[in-house]
Amino acid sequence: MIHCKQIWRIISAAAAGLLLAACATTTNVDYRQGYDFGAITSVSISAPGQPASHDPRISSPLVDERVNTAISRHLSVRGYRVVAQGATARLNWKLTTRAGVESYQSGVSFGYGTFSRRSAFGVGYGFPLYDVDSYDEAVLTVDILDPADGGLLWRASASRRLNDGITPEKLNGLVNELVSEVLGQFPPGSRQ
């Protein structure tokens, strides 16, 4: 027989799982099948050419420096040497923005609680109100290229919400999160 406390624990665990799933972001990854990624021991980072974005929040030499530093640090921690020449792979990156839209609508919620020897169950309903919110996302795309022919070996991208009035400290955090999320997928089959 299931007791009220057990029901509450089950509901709480399910709600926590749904919240974590809603907060998770997806990293898109593709790579050349059959390539020996274990042969990559050193990487040269190519500086971005023309700005991929005309958004002043992310299109600046200061942001480029933050991304290069974060990538170099992440690769070094993972055991790769970052070199200017003679690397076993080249890395190109691009930071862009894209617009997103989020809509909110009414819904039903349930609650259950106990106090002393009493318990209660409640139901709430949100009135049919709809709200639409537009926002920008920063998207980091990283390519690993064959140094011999420049062919694409591996590509991954991830995104985070980009707010107006972002401070340098928050921009550092955003860049580090994106780099960790993207390069955490390299090499294929590994998870950081």
pLDDT of 66-92, one tens digit each? 999 999 999 999 999 999 999 999 999
Could you tell me the maximum CA-CA distance found in the chain, to the nearest angstrom?
A: 74
The domains of the chain, with CATH numbers, are: 4-96+134-183 (3.30.160)
H-helix or E-strand spanning residue 133: strand 131-145
CB neighbour burial string for 101-132, b if at least 16 within 10 angstroms, e if fewer: eeeeeeeeeeeeeeeeeeeeeeeeeeeeeeee
- What predicted TM-score, i.e. pTM, was given to this entire model? 0.72
Residue 46's contacts (CB-CB under 8 Å, 6 or more residues apart) are 90, 91, 92
Q: For residues 19 and 164, which has the higher predicted lDDT (pLDDT)? A: 164
